[in-house]
Structure formats: C-alpha cells, structure tokens
Amino acid sequence: MGNLLSSFLSSPESFRSILSYVGGEAKYVWALQVNLDALQAELDKLIRTKDDLLNKVELVEQQQPRARRTNQVKGWLQRVQETVTKAVDLQNVRDQELDRLCLGGFCSKDLASSYYFGKKVVTLTEQVILLKNERGEIKDIAEMVPEDAAVELALERTVVGQESMLDQVWRCITDQEKNRGIIGLYGTGGVGKTTLLKQVNNKFCIEQRQHHFDVVIWGVVSREPKLDKIQDAIGKRIGLSAESWKDKSLEEKALDISNILSRKKFVLLLDDIWQPIDLTELGIPLQSLNVSSKVVFTTRSLNVCGSMEADEKIEVKYLVHDEAWRLFQEKVGEATLRCHSDILELAQTLARECCGLPLALKTIGRAMAYKKNPDEWKYAIKVLSTSPEKFPGMEENVFARLKFSYDSLPNYIIRSCFLYCSLFPEDYEVYKGDLIDYWTSEGFVDAFDEGYTIISDLLRACLMEEVNDNHVKMHDVIRDMALWIACKIDKEEENFLVHAGALLTEAPKIKDWEGFKRISLMENNITSLSAIPNCPHLRTLVLYRNRISMITDGFFQFMPSLKVLNLGFNIFLNKLPSGLSSLISLEHLDLSFTVIRELPEEMKALVNLRYLNLEYVYLNRLPLQLLCNFTKLQALRMLGCSNYSGEEEDRVFFKDAEPFMKELLCLENLDLLSFTFDSWHAFETFLTFQKLLSCTESLELTKLYTPMSLNVLPLAYMKHLKNFLIQNCAFEELKIENAVEIQNLVQRGFRSLHTVFISDCSRLKELTWLVFAPNLKNIDVQNCNNMEEIISPGKLSEASEIKERQNFLAELEFLCLKDLENLESIYFDPLPFPQLKEIEVTGCPKLKKLPLDSTRAMGHKIVVKGNIEWWVELQWEDRVTQRVFSTCFDPMEIVF
C-alpha cells in the first residue's frame, strides 16, 4: 500500500488526481459500472427514438417523391450517429476498464486513467439524454423541395453516332454570347431527331449545376397539333396542374404560362412539329428568349424551321458508315454475328442497304438478331434488294412512318414529282434541269422556276438530298418507300414498273408492261426490244444506258399517251424503228450518245415535241425542214452532234449554216440550245443571230484550225451560257479585242458561265479572260503544252478594278489542271477562293506554287490532288501555310 501511495505522490498529475478523487469526483471511478450501465440504457432509448423518427421520415419520402427530410432532422440524425459511435467505442473497452479497479471498486491500479474514462462515460450519458430530449423540439420532419430542372426521359440502352451532334446542340443552348433563342433540328423521318432531343433533355439532368436553367419542359406536338394538350404539358411542369386550370380557355392558359415563364430561365423542348405553331398562342414569352431562355424543336421540314423563325437550323444527318455498322451490330448482337464465319460479311452488306438511316438499321438488325444460318442472311439481302416491303417490319415500321412526310407534302403535284424520282436507280445523281424537263413533259410543271421550287420543297422536306448546285439524289430507303407507294399503295393512280440498275439482260415480258403508266429499265444490259407492247396508258418510258442495238419496227405504235421517251446512252443503237409517228403525245425525246445515223422523216408527226436531245449522236445528216415541224420545241441539245457526221456537204454546220439557223428562228418557243461548231464559218453565222445567242446554254468549239485568235467578247452577251468547251483548236489567244468593253465586263461579265473546259489547244499560253466570269465554278484545262499561266498579271492591267480587289474566281469550286508541261503559275499572288473545294494537278512539272496561303484553309478544307513527287516539291508562302495544307493532300496514283 505504501508503495502504491508513494507512486501516486511521485508526480504532480497523480497528486492532483487524488485531490479531485478525494474532492467529490470519486464517483467517476467507484461508480464506473453503474455509469456504464446508465449510458447503455440511455443509448438504447436514443436509438429507439432515432429509429422511430427515421421510419416516419422514410414513409413520408416514399409517399411523396418531392418530400425531403429537413436540415434539422438531418443534423439531429447525424449527431445521434456520432454519439452512438462514441458510446460503442467506450463500451468496447468496458471490461478492460473495470478490470483496473481494486479495493472493491473504490480505487484503480491506474487512477488517472480510470478517472478520465469515467468522466467521459458520465459526460457522454448527459449528451445522450440531451439528444433524446431534443427530438421533442423537432416539429417538421420533412419539407417539399422544388423539382429538378429536367425530368429524365427513357432512352435506348446506348445511342450510337450522335455524340458530335449532341455537343453542337448543347453549345447552341448554353452559349451565352450568341443570341440563338429558337433552335430547329430537322431531318428525314427515322434519322434520330427525337432521340437527339431526348438526349438534350437528359443532359440537363446530368449537368444540373452547370446549365443554370430553372426548368426544362418537354412536349410532343405531332402531325395534328392540339395547343391545349401542349399547354397542359407545359402547365404540369410549372405547377399549373389543377383541374380548374385545365378548364380554362387557350387564352387564359397562355396568360398564366406567360406570367410564370417570364420570371424563369427555361428551355422548351418540342418534338415532332409538322406545321408551324404560334409560340405566343401557347404562352411562351418570346421576349425571354435568346440569352436567358431557349426553345428547341424537331421537324422533318426545313420550311417549318423558317416559319418558326429559328435562329439556328441544324440538320440531323444519316449515320456515316462506321456509326451505322456499330448500331447494326448492337441490334443484331455479337452472339449471332460470331456464330458463323460467313455471317459477319453478310451482315455488313445488309447494313449498307440501310444507307445510315437509324430506323432501318434498328428494324432490320432486330429482325436478324436470331438468324444464325448464312442462307437466311443471303435471302434477307435478296429480299431487301428486290422487294424491301416484304422484309419483316419494313412496311409497318419504316415505310409507314416515312410515308407521313410524303402525305404532308402540300399537294398532289409535288407528291407526283417526288414519286417520279424513284424511276432512277439507287444513288443516282440526277441533273436538276433534266428532272424538271421530265416533270414539264409529264404536265406536272409549266416552267423551270416552278420546277426548281418543287425541288426546293422536296429538299426542305428532307425527301431528297442535294449533291451540288446542279444535282440531287434520293436516299435509298426513301426511294424504296416511294416505290412502295407508287407500286402498291397508290397503284391505280401511279402504277410504276421499275427495274432500274437491276442488271437485266432481257426486258420484262411484254405482257408485264400492260397497264403501267411509267416504266424505267435504265442502267441495265438489255440488248434488244423485239416484241410489240400494248401500253395505252404509258406516259414515261426510260431505257437510258442499256446495250440496245435493235428495236423492232412498230414497237411504239401502241403507246398513244407516251410523253417521255429516253433512249440515251444506248451506244449500239444505230437506227430508230418505224412507227414513231404513232407517238402523237410525245414531248420529251432523248437520243443522246447513240450511233443513230439519220432521223426518219416520220418524226415530223411529233408535233408536240418540246424537248429533243441529240448530244453526241452519230448523225450523218439532219434533214432540213424537220425541226420546223416541232413548233412547240423549247429545248434542243446538239452538243457534239456535228463531230461524227459523214460527207461534208451533208453536215449540219458545214459552210453555209444559215438555212439551218433560220429554221431554228422559226421556233418561237425555243429557249435552250447547246451546240458544237467545227466550222468557223458556221460559228460566225451563228454569232449573227441574237435570238440563238440569247438561249444558248452550252457551246463547244472543236477542230478549228483558223483563225489564230478568238475574241471571247460575244460570249459575254450569251446571257444563259453555262458551259463553254474548246477542244483541239489552233487558237494562240483567247482575247477581248475591244478595250472599251473591258470596264463593262467588270460590271456585267460572263454572269451565267459556270464551267470552262479546254483541251488539246497546244498554242494557248494563258486564260486571263476567265477573271470576267464572276460565277465560274469549274475550270478544267488539259493537254495544252504551251500554257504558261492561267491568269496573267500583265493581261490584267486594263482591268485594274478587278486586279486591285483580287476578287476574281470567288465562286470557283473545282480546278483541274492536267498535262500542262509549261505551266508555271495559276496566279502570282494568293487568292481568296472562298468556295474552293478541290484542286487537281497532274503532269504539270513546272508548277511549283499554288495561289494559297494559310487564311484560305480557314473554315473549310480544300482538297489538293496530285502525285507525291509534285507535292513534296511545292513551295509555300510560309511555314504556317505549309502546315495548314499538309492534311489537305490526296495523293493520286500515276496511271500508265
């Protein structure tokens, strides 16, 4: 005992502990077991109180999704948890601390330690009691919180190929610097517009803290919009959902919506708009748009974007090949794709048939998901290629949905023009002018302007695609839908027979022709037409690009309604059959690129002919007084027609061409011509007839060996001249003789000229006159050995205004230079080239510099084609320019 006491007195701390112990706090030690039991009892009460509260809170949260526990409850529960943890820690060392006690529990082997432990137990017990009592002060256990800005919408497991598009739309919405209050997303049916808009909505759920919008509203408009239903959807999101509110008028609802939204920063997402809707009638406060709030909608029509006054119009495009294949793989499934070695390649073929349309990819992919026999895949490819409407799901899931766009076209005329485009093969790029000529002959349109308007309508409805300024095409799945309508849905009205690009070697049996209104067998390998069909209702027959060498006499005698006949590009056809006089309704006749030697006299009966194409026809002669019978003729194409004539005295444009020219002057409706002249005298005669100059669209000069120079000034007065070709001529110079006219050309120029092709003119040195063609799009110069420069600065001295501005060739898109051995310069300084897409250079070893600098690549990519040896030797303005264009080169293989 003495030793124990002496050890306590050996340190000040021990001494102070004894004094405290003696002074009344001995209970921390001698009552330690009682205090630990009391702590446990009070802790049990606290835990039961906590559990009761937690059950009540969770019940409220389950019953009311927007209910959240109050911060007071959260804080109390957190403090309880912390206190329970401390108590458990003390109880865990209970036995160890009790073992330290001695002298019947009135003393401790480590008095200081037992004292501090005992004090913790008493203090924590007091905190437990206090916490339990605080529960009675908590009155409100939960509160209603505002909804999230957006409500997440259901999407497919994965979305393929819209990442960049989503980023683009998101930037438009969140960019505070640009005032884009209304954003229109447009595209073909089934291309993924709704999916994209849902992704935009869900992105608001993910990035709630970043976007700073108060509310995101989702609404579906549909083909027949009901404004009250749209207002109800908006009202529900902003708290106007009472039954009494739903009974209000449209105007009253609009006022309520406007009052609330004008005080919020909102995003309104409207899906599937078919016709313009007035946002103010819905109650959308347009004054809040641009920087603070946004409206984003989807539509199949670019017209709707315009009518809705969209500040940004974004086309939702088809998937590119890799993205389409990823989507198709996902829908088919890896198990099926890998179950047989042949299926993967067959699946890729089938995916290509969808041409990047997500709706078709999903439909076909799902249908093939469990097809594990290669023969099933081969049969699927055959069906989809020949009769796509018979493929499972295509008719009801794809064509029926796409048909909504067709049904929404404004009138029967536009719908008929659309269906007419299905006569062409898959991926066929049809020239706009030719298409309008067909429509005009069929009676759909009366004028070219009307035809171009319909093309624009179809482009804006996303039912056609624009390839370039002159050509359009139809997406393969859209074409399949059009044929489904023409051949099945509207069979009695339209009634098409189409085997375009089907690799036929024989024409369908004649009995199969009967009853059809339009037949297209173009781009096949048919060699003869030996039977005589009976087609009283046939209006269009397209046999373009076959291998027909013989058409039996009388073949056309039972086609009284035929308006369009295209026999072009049958390069073995050297004779027309008898019986053409039966085609009393014919308006459009295309014989281009055939080897027909002579037009028969009975063609004089074709008095309704308004379009005749004889380009590059092997005519020995064109009988005089034939064309004057075509009093309704509007278009006569004869480019290349005189190249293949026989005896000189029979040639149309040999020596005295005046009788033929005067015959053309008698055609009062003629407004489009294309000619080739290989006689200088005939060309000079032509230049004296102003009416013929005014309607010439294409002009070719060939094999003119005198004179040595050509004054191109008369071409400037051909107001419709689009294409100018010079081949194998001896001109040393193409010039403008009258200097006084140069300033007039600066103002007027060759406004309509789009394409210039010059070939095998070995004496030409420059083409400076091209600077006077402000809308020139294509320049193609080949095999001109003495050509030194395209634009000569010295020749520009008299046109100082153009030289100073350097704005010539501003519309140029394609520049092709081939086999110009002495060409050293296109132009000595860089040119703007704002529209330039491609430069192709081959066989021009002295051309060491292109008129480009780094600014010319900003905003668009110029592709430069050529061989590698030429490319590596090119000289650049500076290192920046060389670096910018280093990714623009497309190497060409040298063909020997």
Q: Which of 279, 323, 322, 318 is nearest to 297 (CA)?
A: 279
* Residue 31 structure tokens: 């009552």
Residue written as token pair 């310069």:
825
Q: Which of 328, 453, 215 is nearest to 444 (CA)?
A: 453
302, 305, 306, 310 alpha-carbon torsion, rounded to 10°: -140
- Contacts for 453 with CB less than 8 Å, ≥ 6 apart: none
- Distance, in Å, from the CA atom of 58 to the CA atom of 43, rounded to the nearest integer, reads 22
Residue type, 333: G
* Residue 362 structure tokens: 């999903």
Tell me the pLDDT band of 843, cut-offs 50, 70 and 90: very high
Q: Which of 716, 833, 847 is nearest to 779 (CA)?
A: 833
Strands 733-735, 814-818: pairing is: unpaired
Beta bridge partners of 726: 701, 758
Phi, psi (rounded to 5 degrees) for 117:
-65, -45
Q: Which of 272, 283, 270, 277 is nearest to 218 (CA)?
A: 270
Strands 101-102, 215-222: pairing is: unpaired
8-state DSSP, 859: S
Helix, strand, coil tally for the chain in percent (to 5): 45, 15, 40
Average pLDDT, the chain: 87
CB-side neighbour CA atoms (13 Å) of 850: 29
Question: How large is the average pLDDT for residues 193-217?
Answer: 87
Tell me the pLDDT band of 41, cut-offs 50, 70 and 90: confident
Tens of pLDDT along 503-553? 999 999 998 899 899 999 999 999 999 999 999 999 999 999 999 999 999
- Report the pLDDT value the prediction gives residue 244, as an integer from 0 to 100: 79
What size, in residues, is the chain?
896
Question: How large is the average pLDDT for residues 252-278?
Answer: 93
* Residue 623 structure tokens: 């009988």
- Report the pLDDT value the prediction gives residue 350, as an integer from 0 to 100: 94
- Distance, in Å, from the CA atom of 159 to the CA atom of 162, rounded to the nearest integer, reads 7
Tens of pLDDT along 608-635? 999 999 999 988 777 778 999 999 999 9
* Residue 800 structure tokens: 């100082």
Handedness of CA 534, 522, 670, 674 (dihedral sign): negative
- Distance, in Å, from the CA atom of 342 to the CA atom of 209, rounded to the nearest integer, reads 50
Tens of pLDDT along 864-883? 999 999 999 999 988 888 88
- Distance, in Å, from the CA atom of 846 to the CA atom of 819, rounded to the nearest integer, reads 11
863, 869, 871, 873 alpha-carbon torsion, rounded to 10°: -170
Helix or strand or coil: residue 216?
strand
Q: Which of 658, 664, 663 is nearest to 684 (CA)?
A: 658
Residue 104 has pLDDT above 80, yes or no: no
* Residue 701 structure tokens: 């000069």
The domains located in the chain, with CATH, are 2-144 (no CATH), 163-315 (3.40.50.300), 321-386 (1.10.8), 411-489 (1.10.10.10), 495-609 (3.80.10.10), 625-695 (no CATH)
Helix or strand or coil: residue 521?
coil
- Distance, in Å, from the CA atom of 262 to the CA atom of 875, rounded to the nearest integer, reads 60
- Distance, in Å, from the CA atom of 115 to the CA atom of 127, rounded to the nearest integer, reads 19
- Contacts for 335 with CB less than 8 Å, ≥ 6 apart: none
**Structural element, H or E, at residue 744:** helix 740-747
Min mean pLDDT across 118-132, 572-586, 732-746 is at 732-746
* Residue 73 structure tokens: 């409850």
- Report the pLDDT value the prediction gives residue 729, as an integer from 0 to 100: 96
Q: For residue 875, count other CB atoms closer than 10 A to its CB.
A: 8
Tell me the pLDDT band of 15, cut-offs 50, 70 and 90: very low
Question: How large is the average pLDDT for residues 560-581?
Answer: 96
Residue 99 has pLDDT above 90, yes or no: no
**Structural element, H or E, at residue 88:** helix 71-92
**Taking the CA atoms of the chain, what radius of gyration do you get in angstroms?**
42
- Contacts for 552 with CB less than 8 Å, ≥ 6 apart: 528, 529, 530, 531, 532, 577
Most trustworthy range by pLDDT among 128-137, 668-677, 797-806: 668-677
8-state DSSP, 154: -
Min mean pLDDT across 482-486, 646-650, 743-747, 870-874 is at 646-650
- Distance, in Å, from the CA atom of 444 to the CA atom of 437, rounded to the nearest integer, reads 10
- Distance, in Å, from the CA atom of 775 to the CA atom of 759, rounded to the nearest integer, reads 21
* Residue 842 structure tokens: 């081959």
- Distance, in Å, from the CA atom of 373 to the CA atom of 861, rounded to the nearest integer, reads 45
Q: For residue 357, count other CB atoms closer than 10 A to its CB.
A: 25
Residue 103 has pLDDT above 70, yes or no: no
